[in-house]
Amino acid sequence: MILNLEELLEALEEERKKGKKIVFTNGCFDILHAGHAYYLKKAKELGDVLVVGINSDQSVKRIKGEKRPIVPESMRAYLVDSLKPVDYVVIFQEDTPEKLIELIRPDVLVKGSDWKIEDIVGANTVLSYGGRVERIEFVFDISTTKIIEKILYTYREFSK
């Protein structure tokens, strides 16, 4: 379910009343691929409710450059929301989800294994109230950047 922040906080309050463990992760999810699907499936296994924060289009531009995102935020949110492990999706405007994490107060914060715990935004916040920070290993050697590079390479080869 794609919700704004206020709606999400209300929904999570209800989930907590039921004793559910909240898991949070975030990302751009620009071109959805098998690595994203695996990562989200593993994140969901760490709790009961998976919340995914998606960077807004403006946030992606600031982080990844003017040519990104490839896919607009409403479509990225729709795709991520359509995945079986995902319970809630929220779009955030900031470059990092720090404020979002402070408000959501997840039981588990998840990032990929390419992040050191000390570099994970919100890790200190989550650890401060007894939450956990988990890192998920990659099993697919793929990324949105690699997909874009392959498309550009293929285009150049076919254009010769």
The residue ranges of every structural domain in the chain are 5-159
Share of the chain above pLDDT 90, in %: 97
Instruction: Place domain 5-159 in its CATH homologous superfamily.
Output: HUPs (3.40.50.620)
Asked if residue 97 has pLDDT above 90, the reply is: yes
Give per-residue pLDDT as tens, 29-79.
999 999 999 999 999 999 999 999 999 999 999 999 999 999 999 999 999
> Model's pTM, two decimal places?
0.95
At residue 54, the pLDDT reads 98
Cβ neighbours of 153 (radius 10 Å): 10
Cα-trace Rg, the chain: 16
Q: Which pLDDT score, from 0 to 100, does residue 93 have?
A: 97
